[in-house]
Chain A
Amino acid sequence: MPHKILLADDEEDIKVVVRIFLEGKGHEVVLAFDGLDAIDMARQEKPDLIFLDVMMPVINGYEVCEKLKADPATKDIPIVMLSAASHADSIKKGLDAGAADYIVKPFDPVKLEAVIDKILGANPE
């Protein structure tokens, strides 16, 4: 059983690359283009895991994470932050907001697969 992954990033190119990679691994990928869209999509699509960019217009990833964690309908969906901000302060802030993990950009696509395996368990079959 492949997983349903929500990817929220305002950077179109990153979405293309990550989508192709994850689909190549057999997952279903749904996309959100900013923070507000991410919250809507999470509620509608009920993904198994969310990859969430931090620096997005309107509302940033930290706030999105806090809002999703505060909503009973979405609080159990694991969230993994993706961000170019690598300072320990930023990482702490993400984990404090309720993220299960924090991946610094630029990342190896394999790392995404490793995190999915770690959080949702390897070999979905």
Chain B
Amino acid sequence: MPQDSSTHARMLQLLGKISDAVVDDSDIDQVLSGTVHLVQSMLGVSRCSIMMLNEESKTLGMIAAAGIPRRQWPKISVPLGEGYSGKAAADGKPLLVRDTKILKNHEDSRVAKYRSNSFMCVPLKLKSRVIGVINVNDKKDGAPFDKDDLRTIVTLSSFIAMALGNAQMLLQSEMVKRNLRSMSDSIYSGLMTVEPDGRLRFINYYGSQLIGSAPESLHGKMLSEILHPRDADQFLSLLHATVRSRAPQSRRFEFTSPANGRDIPLGVTASIVYRDNGEVNSVVFIIEDRSLHREVKKLREMDEAKNNFIAMISHELRTPLTSIKGAGYMLDTSLSEGLNDAQHSMVRLIMQNTERLIKEVNNLLDATYIENDTMMLIARKHNMDEFLRAILPKFERIAQNKKIQLEYINEAPDLVANIDPDKFSKVVENILDNALKFTKMNGKVWLRVDRDRNDCVISVEDTGSGIPKESQPKIFEKFQQAEHTMTREFGGSGLGLFISKALMDCHGGELELARSDETGTVFRIVLPIAMGPDTTE
């Protein structure tokens, strides 16, 4: 069907509108909507739609349509290669179906009321890459589409593709700009772009803080307008030196804040941003506040000194503790025959308190390793049942003394895990110790072992009074014990859970508080199960 002159004029008008969208950044939605409606009225068709290809999900989604209500658009999604639109997009070739009735295996549209008798699907291509499809369905007068109609839509399609590509690019470059801006604002250094004549093009938040004004109020100003003259000279001479040598330059100088007159030691590095033709576009300054460096350096040194001191003290304490422990042991055993009851109980007292001191010293040392990230394990495969049975007797004695029932239930006695026996026993002992400590006389403590998929789960449950709700989130922090009154009553520095959790992290496992209320507390120690034979000695 030949096109009449008014159709031709409208076609030109349409192309003009679309090319406008290509060259300027008018709203792409409006352009697409205008396009489909103009196609609809120009060709006298019942429906015209544009679908965009989502590269990730490989589906076409509707982004503009005339003759299909907007609320239907989200429901219309066509996988690449399926249906006529999907095929046109997958093959990158236009499709013209004059009459669906003569097609043998015609696939009806999914939405019954959008069935067509005659239609066209034309891929939208940008540099031979398909970015979407334009669909045109059913002339209102019932005539089938012909080659001329297809040609018109193919011509249109390249313009629409360009407009879409342009809009996408614009969106991306806007996003890149925005991302760069928020990134530059989040760094703890000044970042400033200056044109060769000394005009400030961009400054990030931290840089503007040094000057003492909002970034927006500084953009476009000359450096000599916004800085102390001496400082402006420093920056400009650094800029010129950088441009002259065409290599990055650094300088340190005392900077006077224009806002409050305070002197700040700065370290400034300048480097050039070139244009495509090799000319200097601008110079980027990275500005460091060196007073902060000094501060941070001092704090780091202090922290290191503290940690070294703790490590040194711990070692120094361990040597005399070795003699005390050894002497106490012998008084308590082989040499105890000559002691009366009172003397014997005094020896016991020395022994118990020596143990307590040793434990605290060890905790302090472990906490230091954890803080310095220097905790190391010597892990080997161990059968968990054997391992726990070896630990248990000590706690059975404590339980007996407190008249607490301690029950060990192992549902999976064959489980083997990679553990550092010394470190892992600290975790188990610490949790059991707490359970017994916070459970009253005639209470009960359960030590259970279970398999949960590829994990060995050791849970310790008690019938104690529970950890107060408000303290629960903080129990794994350093120097925390639920209540200060508890600390006084039961002793302990509050390092136990902090260390235990860190040790479980080192084991690739977890330590968690599963439940704690007035009926009791459950801690779960989770360890990955090791495959293969157990090498326990």
Contact = CB atoms under 8 A, between A and B. Distances in A.
Taking residues whose C-beta sits less than 8 angstroms from the other chain, chain B's interface range is: 20 to 34
B326 A84 contact: no
Given A106-B318, A107-B322, A89 B376 contact: yes
Interface stretch (A9-17, A33-41, A57-65, A67-75): A9-17
23 contacts: A13-B323, A13-B327, A14-B319, A14-B322, A16-B323, A17-B322, A17-B323, A17-B330, A20-B330, A21-B326, A24-B334, A84-B318, A84-B322, A86-B365, A87-B376, A92-B378, A104-B422, A105-B319, A105-B322, A106-B321, A106-B324, A106-B326, A107-B325
B28 interface: no
Given A13-B323, A88-B377, A109-B330, 5 more contacts: A11-B322, A88-B376, A92-B378, A107-B325, A108-B325
Nearest to A17: B326
B330 A84 contact: no
B420 interface: yes
B307 interface: no
Nearest to A13: B323
Contact of B329 (A16, A86, A89, A108): A108
Nearest to A90: B376
Contact of A14 (B315, B326, B369, B420): B326
B374 interface: yes
Contacts of B334: 24
A11 B323 CA distance: 9
Given A24-B334, A84-B315, A86-B365, A106 B374 contact: no
Interface of B: 314-315, 318-327, 329-330, 334, 354, 358, 362, 365, 369, 374, 376-378, 420, 422
Taking residues whose C-beta sits less than 8 angstroms from the other chain, chain A's interface range is: 20 to 34
A17 B334 CA distance: 12
Interface string A1-30: 000000000010110111011001000000
A42 interface: no
A85 B374 CA distance: 14
B327 A17 contact: yes
Nearest to A84: B318
A91 interface: yes
